[in-house]
Amino acid sequence: MPHTSTGEPEYIVLFDGVCHLCQGAVKFIIQRDPKKRFFFISLQSPAAFRLLREVGLEEAPLETMVLIEHGAYYTRSTAALRIARALRFPWPLLYAFILIPRVWRDAVYKIIAKRRYRWFGRDEVCMVPTVELRDRFLPEE
């Protein structure tokens, strides 16, 4: 498991565990991360609350994905683009969109986030990883 010199995972993605779009994004990342640098945890978990406090985000709204990269945190479109940058080719090419002002990128992100349950659906409980993927998820407690 790739970790930083402090023993922490390189990339931790905090996601809405009941959102089908978010669950799909997690599966998408896993399939394009052969080096297994990304680890995941549901925003609804106690461990996510603890991680967010550690990086200075007391509470992340469920409508944003949070990326903790080498101890720094990113949200919304910046998180998505930084994730794409770390995946296998051709996905890093999407990082060019970082040149678009964040306020515009985040406006598009917020439109999708606001409608994600209606468009993609949601579960009553958080995603439970399969046995094959369990090692990519951090403990929730």
pLDDT in tens, 93-140: 999 999 999 999 999 988 888 888 788 777 665 556 665 667 777 766
pLDDT at residue 70, as a whole number? 86
Average pLDDT of span 39-56: 83
Are the CB atoms for 63 and 14 separated by under 8 Å? no
For the residues 41-65, what does the mean pLDDT come to? 77
What six digits make up the tokens of 46? 């106690």
Mean local confidence (pLDDT), 77-84: 95
Q: How far is CA 82 from the centre of its chain?
A: 10
Note whether 138 and 130 are within 8 A (CB): no
As a whole number, the mean pLDDT across the chain is 82
Contacts with 76 (C-beta within 8 Å, 6 or more apart), sequence order: 64, 65, 105, 106, 109, 110, 113
Q: What is the pLDDT of residue 20?
A: 80
